[in-house]
Amino acid sequence: MTVIESTPAATGTTDVCAAAPPSHPRPDGQDRYTISEVAAWTGLTAHTLRWYERIGLMPHVDRSATGQRRFTNRDLDWLTLVGKLRLTGMPVAAMVRYAELVRAGDHTFDERRELLETTRRDVLARIAELHETLAVLDYKIDIYTGARPAPERAAR
Amino acid sequence: MTVIESTPAATGTTDVCAAAPPSHPRPDGQDRYTISEVAAWTGLTAHTLRWYERIGLMPHVDRSATGQRRFTNRDLDWLTLVGKLRLTGMPVAAMVRYAELVRAGDHTFDERRELLETTRRDVLARIAELHETLAVLDYKIDIYTGARPAPERAAR
DNA sequence: CGCTTGCTTCGAGTGCGCTCGAAGGTCCTA
DNA sequence: TAGGACCTTCGAGCGCACTCGAAGCAAGCG
């Protein structure tokens, strides 16, 4: 599994009404999750979560008195976004860039919007490609389903 | 460029009528392309084409009297299909499996069809995921375009 | 008290899909 | 006959996104 594959956790509800913020395990104020809780929630490994933080893909994560990570609901939201972007095939470096813009403050609003719009265009292009591929697949499946012998010079 | 990215050569005509077989540089019978011609046509490198053959992703490729590869229009068709499948994120190993089935003969028809149908389902799932992502992106772009300050607890 | 569980950091390893370099053979054109 | 483009094989290297192991500290439980 490199990229392209939904996390098992994310495939719960196939609700199309997506824009609503996802509900979280705990209410704001009591949201202090250990790394293993977050790992279970996101489907990522603890190793990967630490790695995300190391490379700057996570906003600064709180620590407990003894130095352990304590994630918040906001962190979960962020990880949800990252998960979506990951599914688009967006390179980690680009996501890190976005995270940096977020950390840099409000004056990067325009740049962030541009980055998102570029990504949006990429996603639309990918969808179009996949539809083309679908057409090819349907064409071949038809051949295999109907006429058993393939036509003269098909790519098999 | 690892996976996910259309070849520059393939982005010529954005014709939606995809099912028609692509026209080839030379008519059948005089179709004997060198590796560099095929490289130019597909956008792959000669190295990659040889590698495809090595790992069993190409059907057997003809040779000239002196042992050089000579590709046919059928090979180009095959490479077009492989290119499409590659765009879906299908692992090379699965494509090799399909190629093996083709080589194995007509009694693998059913298995090939199943493989294609599984792939088809995967592609549909990917498209659905991308639409979800699109919704998230639109939501965020709206925030950045309209209200300049982000709402209370957005994932930024 | 010892045990388990789970956390920490650091750095090395893995799998995929290419990608490239080296060393040498062949074809074509002038 | 010389030059250069282009081909061959083999094997090593690379970039990405993780993935894992080791060594050690800390909390909680019977």
The string of pLDDT tens digits covering residues B127-141 is 999 999 999 999 999
Q: Which nucleotides of D are covered by protein (CB under 7 A)?
A: 6-11, 15-21, 26-27
Q: B102 vs A152, which has greater pLDDT?
A: B102
Cβ–Cβ of B18/A132 closer than 8 Å?
yes
Which site among B1, B31, B130 would you substitute to test the A interface, given the most A Cβ atoms closer than 10 Å to its Cβ?
B130
Q: At the topology level of CATH, where does A30-104 sit? A: Multidrug-efflux Transporter Regulator; Chain: A; Domain 2 (1.10.1660)
Asked if A64 CB < 7 A from strand C, the reply is no
pLDDT at A152: 52
Calculate what percentage of chain B has a pLDDT beyond 90. 60
Cβ–Cβ of B126/A130 closer than 8 Å?
yes
Instruction: For A9-48, write each residue's pLDDT tens digit.
Output: 433 333 343 345 567 888 887 788 999 999 999 999 999 9
Terminal-to-terminal C-alpha distance of chain B: 28
Cα gap A20→B27, rounded to integer Å: 56
Of the partner residues B4, B59, B109, the one whose CB lies closest to the CB of residue A144: B109
Looking only at the bridges linking them, the beta strands covering A69-70 and A62-63 are: antiparallel
Instruction: For A77-106, write each residue's pLDDT tens digit.
Output: 999 999 999 988 899 999 999 999 999 999
pLDDT at B137: 94
The alpha-helical segments, DSSP class H, found in chain B are 35-42, 46-54, 73-87, 92-104, 109-145
pLDDT at A153: 55
Stretch B44-60: mean pLDDT, rounded?
Answer: 93
CATH architecture of residue range(s) B30-90? Orthogonal Bundle (1.10)
Q: A152 vs A125, which has greater pLDDT?
A: A125
- Residue B51, CA: closest nucleotide via C1'? C18
Q: Name the minimum distance, in Å, from the CA of B113 to any CA of chain A.
A: 6
